[in-house]
Amino acid sequence: MKKRPKIYLFDVTNRDGVQTSRLGLAKLQKTMINLYLNEMGVHQSEFGFPATHHETNYLNANLELAKKGVLKPIILSGWVRAITHDVELALKLTSIKHLNLSISTSEQMIRGKFQGRKGPEDIIKVMTAAVRLARKKGIKTVSVNAEDASRSDINYLIRFAAAAKECGAERIRYCDTLGFDDPLTIYERVYQLARAVNMPIELHCHNDLGMVVATSVMGAKAANDAGCDAHINTTVNGMGERAGNADLVSVILALKYSSGLKDKYLLDEKVNLSGAWKIAKYASYAFGVPIPINQPGVGANAFAHESGIHADGALKDRRNYELYDFEELGRGEAETIETGRKITAGEYSGIKGFRNVYEKLEIRFKDDKEATRILELVRYANVHTQKPLTNDELCFIAKYPNIARKIFTMSP
């Protein structure tokens, strides 16, 4: 009997999220996001750009964490253009084993970007050469991104995907790059594509028309209905180019609790929401972007009731006005904020204040030498993040000083 298809989560905060205009993350912050995603049971993290030099140490350091079993079972994969040059460079600079290769497939973009230098058939040629090379060089999973898939001719898209599969690509990424699809169009198109090529489909959707979570889950439903696994691309708090990507927490909530999906589709059993509150708060702090008050699950008002009828109803039985419990998302604990003296750790910290910070975290150092060594790393970390380090960041540095050093090292 054929296995029932599943829906996996594939977060792209560390790729699409950080390439957003005006926003970015320090390499330590990207590392923390990977750790939190792993805790939440996210299947895969597109954790960066292996053909970009300033990412090299961060990427290799995170691959080391994977080797040590710290970033496990999450799969770490990189994004490159679907050209042999990028595949070669990625393999030269990093020890990456999973890649997404990206190239445009719509008439608009082929015409508008390549300006007559490349036609649709050339695109397939360039892409298949890159896939073949990646497979030959030992890349374990190759996924091919059809950029602007939602505006691409469906028959061309099917040919493109079939050619990718033929050369050893495991998956195809259906990119709704401009957020052009609606839930029904993406369902129909992805269903047709999945039926024709019979391979796992990634859904990469954008929010330009305000439908990103709906298009993402309906695309996944289509892939599953056609008998194929689906991998939904998400970002924490929906960060991403322009109006953003599909918010990680909202996507999980939609799959678990909406009337048409709940209990009908198989969400990867590793996924859990217990870290939802933590990752949303952290990403908000790291990006410097507040969580909207009405954000599903993690917004300040997501479980707030005031009007008479609602408050009364929620107090009598929470199910009257809540589809899911705040406890499931890791909410509910009171937060303590130091309102008196507080010592923070930063790039100009000295040893006394620094020891005070770590004592509060109940981390002790072997000797002064070790303390000085960690202090130096904390200073470097702060040079990168430019904001007080969080407790988890401080713990990470103390626990994995050699990895941290690598992450902070950049030589232009």
Give min distance, CB of 171 to Zn ion, in A.
Answer: 16
DSSP string, 234-286: EBGGG--STT-B-BHHHHHHHHHHSTTTTTTSEE-TT--STTHHHHHHHHHHH
Give the residue with the Cβ less far from Zn ion, 208 or 376. 208
- Tell me the window of 9-17, 369-377, 378-386, 392-400 that interacts with Zn ion (CB under 5 A): 9-17
181 binds Zn ion (CB under 5 A): no
Give min distance, CB of 388 to Zn ion, in A.
Answer: 31
Binding map of Zn ion across residues 13-52, x = CB under 5 A, - = no contact: ---x------------------------------------
- DSSP code of residue 309: H
Give the residue with the Cβ less far from Zn ion, 238 or 275. 238
Give the residue with the Cβ less far from Zn ion, 16 or 202. 16
Give min distance, CB of 16 to Zn ion, in A.
Answer: 4
Give the residue with the Cβ less far from Zn ion, 20 or 382. 20
Give the residue with the Cβ less far from Zn ion, 233 or 382. 233
User: ω into residue 73 within 30 of 0, thus cis?
Assistant: yes
Give min distance, CB of 405 to Zn ion, in A.
Answer: 32
Contacts of residue 121, defined as CB under 8 A and 6 or more positions apart, other chains included, come to none
Q: Which residue lies nearest Zn ion, judged by its C-beta?
A: 16
- What's the burial of 143, exposed, middle or buried (CB within 10 Å: 0-12/13-18/19+)? buried
Q: How far is Cα 150 from Cα 201, in angstroms, rounded to an integer? A: 13
Q: How far is Cα 177 from Cα 175, in angstroms, rounded to an integer? A: 5
Binding map of Zn ion across residues 203-242, x = CB under 5 A, - = no contact: ----------------------------------------
Give min distance, CB of 206 to Zn ion, in A.
Answer: 6
Give min distance, CB of 65 to Zn ion, in A.
Answer: 25
Give the residue with the Cβ less far from Zn ion, 16 or 148. 16
Return the closest-CA partner of residue 20 out of 236, 308, 165, 255: 236
Give the residue with the Cβ less far from Zn ion, 176 or 393. 176
Give min distance, CB of 12 to Zn ion, in A.
Answer: 7
Return the closest-CA partner of residue 27 out of 410, 412, 411: 410
Q: How far is Cα 193 from Cα 172, in angstroms, rounded to an integer? A: 10
Return the closest-CA partner of residue 173 out of 182, 183, 160: 160
Q: How far is Cα 110 from Cα 95, in angstroms, rounded to an integer? A: 32
Q: Which residues bind Zn ion (CB under 5 A)?
A: 16
